[in-house]
Structure 1
């Protein structure tokens, strides 16, 4: 099983990337590819730029990565209650190739933050819009207070209730 995991964040030290990687590695017999969205940086999307540039090769490459995966694990960072600008831009360009950009793949949606909110606002937005973009969401899990619930040294969640939620999500694949 091919699992594509990534953080919807451009941070080099993304806690969401750590969470996505952890969750993906819990899937037995999976070949995990941890993607960095910084590798897909493009000009800010606008209709004018789209007319000028067409569909950028990086957007096409990202779309193909999604299509090649059997499962997608995304962990959303939250900036001011919404998507990060880097993810939103990549999402906007890719959705112009095909609005059904998740291609009916099973998706586990995660989100975390250092605070108690666990980026739940952006997670709710992502989950709410997922059907319009052909994401078969198997679970949406918010991890609050990341540094209290994740062992950075061992790369693992430490809270049993949260590890159980991840295990339950994986069992639905």
Structure 2
């Protein structure tokens, strides 16, 4: 299985990037890890689209989603919602085709340093993804990231949370 994984964040130290990478490694040996920093584009506007068209980087990421068998996204939460970086890239891809996720099997994740585990953005993502042709198999939040994730081994150290994550990821197979 070819899995595409990324954090919906452009932070180079993203805890969601760490979670996405760990989760994808559980699912498959064939994982493509995407960094949203490699897809930075101008802020979407209809005027900009009319003048310049859709950026090539939007097409590249859209194509990568299409080539994957499954997709794992871990959402960072900014003020209870998506990061600006993710939302901008998503908006550009939706101009290629509203079915951004191209009927791919997906597991949606989120984490945060606090006990909420970015559940607000995860709920928004899980609720809206089917409208964009996502086959959401499961969603899972890891609360209190620094208490539950071992930075040295790069894995969840809380055995109950790890088992729950593995069960969510098993839905992709």
Name the TM-score class by shorter chain. Answer: over 0.9
> TM-score if structure 1 supplies the norm length?
0.97
User: Shift of the alpha carbon at 1:40?
Assistant: 0.5
Deviations 1:101-146 (A, max 9, x none): 1000001100000011100000000000011001111111011000
User: Shift of the alpha carbon at 1:170?
Assistant: 2.1
List 4+ stretches of structure 1 deviating above 4 A. Answer: none
- 1:6-17 paired onto structure 2 within 5 Å: 6-17=6-17
**Which SS does the other structure have where 1:110 is aligned?**
strand
1:62 counterpart = 2:61:
yes
List alignment gaps of at least 5 residues for structure 1: none
User: Shift of the alpha carbon at 1:169?
Assistant: 1.5
- 1:1-173 paired onto structure 2 within 5 Å: 1-28=1-28, 30-173=29-172
**Which SS does the other structure have where 1:26 is aligned?**
helix
List alignment gaps of at least 5 residues for structure 2: none
Aligned residue-pair number? 172
> TM-score if structure 2 supplies the norm length?
0.97
**Which SS does the other structure have where 1:96 is aligned?**
helix
User: Shift of the alpha carbon at 1:44?
Assistant: 0.3
- What's the RMSD between the two structures over aligned residues? 0.8
